[in-house]
Structure 1
């Protein structure tokens, strides 16, 4: 039986995921779900087959795997909603790991996780459902990444860092070993985080400082 997958969301993040997926060559058939106005167009040559309302019929047609390819910066609410919809409908939600990424066998990774080009995930790391570990990010040993966290390109988390659910760590940020960042946080790009950050906080700078409560 053909192995078929639907990508939910046809924007920029979809291109990153799709590029990795095509290189992996694990699926016989790939389709994309997006807004109704985009049905019939393509992303990297892959067709947009329908919108959210077409998920039940496509599931019956044999698309049993699904993956959320909507991106997020600081607000993963739509990603979470789509992920839960796929779960409720019975879709299998895989992880997609780019062939160039280096992921230790001694990790715990949930489902619906994307690990991009040249990313590194070291031994003892734990990554929750729906997380994005983007291009060139480094997740060092024993880090704990909560569900639906987005670690943006080039970010470095040193050993034992903890990031709470739904947080976004901006591009090229660096987080000192053993530091804890709370849930629902937004850490600005290029920040150097040397101290713990509480929940629901926007913080940025070098050194990183809490700027406002979300």
Structure 2
């Protein structure tokens, strides 16, 4: 069993730990977070160090790292963590909960998380550093860009595309072949029946653009 470092020790880290433990493919060696959180524990695993120490674990022979930083509308923290882990030479595998169903004809990028009860169907493509959260459905031929969070219970019908750095809120439903742009936030429970462009905040039934998304 390979040892793995978790980068980020907040709430999302708990879901990541559950997923890793559900399959026993990796042994969690340590969690890394902000200096003020050193000594705290997450699900029984100690936060041992901060970002500045990450390279020491690679030099000690641990080759795997996973991004356990969450995101709600702003992926910058996850992007920073992903780039840091890459710069140190780590391998960033996907982590898939044992209860998820992922088609062998789907493709997942590096450091992407697939939570409990997720369904990812044939021909779907999920980019690097994504979160496909608990109970979400990614239907056939969807294309999900890098650093996207598809939140709990969201449903993306066949052929939907989502641009990089976007967030699909909990329980949102996206009609087949709809295109959602990069850097866009779709609110919880939205019913998305038409295309939504880049850098927008949109919500409602039917989903409409409310304002520009400024990060």
CA distance, structure 1, for counterparts of residue 204 and residue 7 of structure 2: 34
**Matched residue of 1:80: which SS?**
helix
Which residue of structure 1 lines up, in the alignment, with residue 130 of structure 2? 131
Q: State the 4+ residue runs in structure 1 displaced beyond 4 angstroms.
A: none
Which residue of structure 2 lines up, in the alignment, with residue 143 of structure 1? 142
The CA RMSD measured in Å over matched residues stands at 1.0
Which residue of structure 1 lines up, in the alignment, with residue 55 of structure 2? 56
CA contact (8 A) 2:33 2:47 kept: yes
CA distance, structure 2, for counterparts of residue 186 and residue 153 of structure 1: 14
Which residue of structure 1 lines up, in the alignment, with residue 180 of structure 2? 181
Aligned length: 213
**Matched residue of 1:40: which SS?**
coil
CA distance, structure 1, for counterparts of residue 29 and residue 206 of structure 2: 44
What are the within-5 Å matches in structure 2 for residues 101-112 of structure 1? 101-112=100-111
What are the within-5 Å matches in structure 2 for residues 165-204 of structure 1? 165-204=164-203
| TM-score, normalised relative to structure 2 | 0.97
CA distance, structure 2, for counterparts of residue 156 and residue 84 of structure 1: 29
CA contact (8 A) 1:4 1:62 kept: no
CA distance, structure 2, for counterparts of residue 30 and residue 58 of structure 1: 9
CA distance, structure 2, for counterparts of residue 41 and residue 22 of structure 1: 20
Structure 2 unmatched ranges of 5 or more: none
- Describe the shift of the 1:16–1:29 C-alpha distance in structure 2 as closer, same or farther (beyond 3 A): closer
CA distance, structure 2, for counterparts of residue 206 and residue 33 of structure 1: 40
**Matched residue of 1:66: which SS?**
strand
CA distance, structure 1, for counterparts of residue 28 and residue 169 of structure 2: 33
Which residue of structure 2 lines up, in the alignment, with residue 97 of structure 1? 96
Q: How far off is 1:53 after superposition?
A: 1.0
Q: How far off is 1:167 after superposition?
A: 0.3
Structure 1 unmatched ranges of 5 or more: none
- Describe the shift of the 1:29–1:199 C-alpha distance in structure 2 as closer, same or farther (beyond 3 A): closer
Q: How far off is 1:166 after superposition?
A: 0.3
CA distance, structure 1, for counterparts of residue 169 and residue 53 of structure 2: 34
Greater CA deviation, 144-153 or 32-41? 32-41
